[in-house]
Structure 1
Amino acid sequence: MTYDIPRLLTLASAGKLRVPRFQRSFVWDASDVRRLFDSIYRGFPIGTLLLWRQDVPAQAVTFGSVEFNAPATTDALMVVDGQQRLTALVASLSPRNGPMDERFEVFFDLSRGRFVGLNRGMPPPRSIPVRETLESRNLLSWLREHGEDLEDSDLEVADALGGALRDYRVPAYIVEGNDERLLREVFDRVNSAGKPITRAQVFHALFANESEPGSPATVVAELRRIGFGEIPENRVVQSLLAMRGGDVQRDIHDEFSEDEDPADWYEQTERALDKSLRFLQGEGIVHQLLLPSSFPLPVLAAFFHLHSDPEPSIERLISRWLWRGWVHGFGREGGQTPALRRAVRSVNPRKKRPEEAPGEFAALKALLEPVRDQELTDLGIGNFRTDNANARLVLVALAALKPLSPTGESLDLGDVLGRFGADAIGDLVPKHRSRIGARGFWLREWPDLTGHEDSAILASHAVSPIAAAALRAGDIEAFLAERAKHVEAVTLNMVNSKLATGMRVRPPLNSLLVPDPEVAS
């Protein structure tokens, strides 16, 4: 079937058209919205909507900057595919009832025949807001009000624009009922074409209860309190699956039986990831922007779920596995997916069979076995990029120096990275961002380094006395070369101490102790 645009707006305002909570937020920018309107004006196809008829409760429904109070209904159309297009149309064409969002302030430039946005917060001259064109009376009212600024030809163009928007028909496919097999096919097809929804979003769509806040996204939100930053939602889903045991890449459609509550597992996943992230912070990874790879998260979650209070010797083995994996890779497999499958099975091999999971030491021994035991001798960093794994090893080493501000104050790097993001990793000297010798925890608002700073401040940023002298002399190239050499030495020293190369994998001492036989009284 097809819908004209006025009908879609009527359905949205009546609460009959809704965006499920699992859908991604609106990610289009203003140019994407304008291109959509240009396609409609020219009569180009904009794709088929995929809708799912469902019973829904009364709730506030939001499309971009527009919100409606929607009543409960038995025949709402949930948007499975087409959220970005529908949000753009509803928010741009409906009367504005919330804060202005410039992405949805779309105008048609009558003189140039093209869709435009605001210019420094103001509508361009001889441009009609598209939200005034959908109803003939609104269009006539706007034309009368602005008639003195328009030419005769503008009236014809405006009328043609209104007709094009009113008459355009959008094809839609509607899924009826709650047939589980049909729903699987819908989600799988949407997840394999176009811009797919993620596995985490499909997981939430299948198992979230409308009255229950639990979801991969809410786990991520709850974990923000730790100050670690946002972890990927797909890692949350993998962590939950790892905690339940078996293959983390398995089909998720039948994950829970009827007597299981997915919300309980979200809570358990949050607790396990809380322990995992705090462990990483104890290893010097104070924020996810310093994490060389998020690969270990599901494995750590499964381990801490099964072994919530490991003894110090086991924690040292976990640390060894992490650092060896970050440096040399987590296995011999050709990709991350098979390596992750094997690693999770080493900790929790069978779904819903925790009693068959190996003990703490056996799990760590299995994890360490395929990971290389050798020192790191070369960082191999060319251009310094903060998303490079080895560059992040450098950042962890620099963080371990406890960098100071230019006034000598200690930095809470977790807080600084949370507030400034990657901008917290700035330039000690300008115009050399790609050089390892120039980068560090130096905010843009701070003055450039001069070499005259207090020695404690310089040392906290891996600036050796030789590098500082070069900087004071104005020899930037010598400074960069000397600091790069020092930073690499600091990094290799820290990393190799974590790798514990050549150390035997020994079971905990208490597992070797034989209890004394009871002495007869």
Structure 2
Amino acid sequence: MTSAYESDPIFEATPRQLSNLVTRIRSGEIALPDFQRDFVWDSSKTEELLQSIISKFPVGTLLFWKQGSDELFASRSFEGSPPLGEKRPVELVLDGQQRLTALYQALTGTGDERFYLKVDEFVEAASGRILDFHEVNFDSAIISLPVANNKAQEKKNSEILKPSHFPVAEVSRFDDWLDDYVEGLGSNDSNLDQKTVKSLYRRMRDKYVIPLRAYGLPVVTLPETTPIEAVCTIFETLNRTGKPLGPFELLTARYYPQGVNLRDYWVEAQASYKTLVDFNIDPYNVLQAVCLRARGSAQRSDVLKKLEAGDIREHWNPVIKGIAGVLDMLQADCGLVAPKWLPYGMLLIPMAAVWPEISELDPLDRASAYGRLQRFYWCSVFTTNYDQGANSQVGADYSLLKSWVISGAGDPPEALQDLPLNSATFRTASVRRKALYSGLMCLLVTSRAEDFHTGQAMTPHRVQESQIDSHHIFPKAYLKRRNSAESSELLLNRSLIDAETNRIIKDRAPSVYLKEMSKTYGPDKLKSVLASHAIKSDAASGIIQDEYEVFLNERLETVVKMVERATGRTLTTE
């Protein structure tokens, strides 16, 4: 009788070099089954993954399925890679799509963001030493920036990028980049020993850059003979189980002997404030806000090393009330009708940390402080100021918010004065720009956007009851038939539309479905509804004439005014 340990598994497990995986994704040998969800990771998750890769940490196993002669599933290429065309993939990815897509885009310079390593953060130049991973400040060592598709973004990127920022997409030519970098250093320092500096950074390369090519990701491969029923069961199981051990769990274990049971604290908080559950608040973010109040920092290292049990006892309840209060304000005054439209979860941390002081003000002073806090929120959203380095940004903002929000004195956070707001950004931004996308949807609600079906102002209850979500105004299929040069996935082509109206729209021209809606609701009501969504509807307007580019430009004008009103700032056109 053969024991379970002696029997052959139905799979084979082999490490695959990252560079090989990237090559095979580009060539179409590795693809996705069509039932896989779209790539949804934001840049911060990719930064965390890159950190794990260059630190040589485990990043989880990938699951592939060899393909035979029978095509059981339709397949598609990874986002950012060339289309498959007539080519059939050798393997399909059942688990690991988000990780592989993130790595592929970072290493090939595709997608909406570009990633950089700041090489100076990995070395101690004075001693000629390469830092260990736990000594590296990864908040500044790995950054991402949106692709510069307008002058404002190009300027913003140029202000952030320094000569020491190495593009991750150039990993195969690091030595050439290093020659240029050291030569630039030498032009500013005649005493620089270029040979010694190059030696230092080459050792840094061997420790931190080479893994971006040579890292071996463990891959479990199911043979082509695996029954389809088994594949479905494996896929479903992988997508519903497993929870990583995070800082909250680690600190729960640390503080328990000191009489602070974080698990009980969190259960009680969720029972007291349903909004924490509705918005899926991460308890680690609560600890970050506590650390911010107690230690002036939300950095992971400070939360893990400096936070004490006494800090939890003193600040936990005020922070919990602060998060609940901020969410209530955002729902009531900033159009946050559904959790999915919260642009940045991290933005809650400095706002919640300053909330207890606002609550102690006299009513009239409190109203002014709320107004300033809302301006900070809108400016942070529309400058996309939390797209990179969010932990550091939280600390910097809190140090200024403490005085500026409470009294109006002192310098406001940088999002209110130092960062650009540009109308061209809104004209070209796609729905992948999560903060801008969410901010626009919330702005529409604050401007009394009306439910397309009932004509009533939107509330969280109506959004859920009528299945109101973001939908295309010019349908994607319609624009595809028209061979439109403009993308259908622009922010300006989206609005909050109920499910019934979306079924009416289908794939038809706006002039067609609007005519039917006019018969149902009446022309005056239809005009009112469209106006509430920042859409012009006179006879010559782009939506009535089915002119997509005209529609986008018209809607941009109104959206710009809405953003300016919310932020108190004037948008530039350059």
Give TM-score, length-normalised by structure 2: 0.46
* Greater fraction helix: 2
Looking at CA atoms only, which structure, 1 or 2, has the larger radius of gyration?
1
Give TM-score, length-normalised by structure 1: 0.50
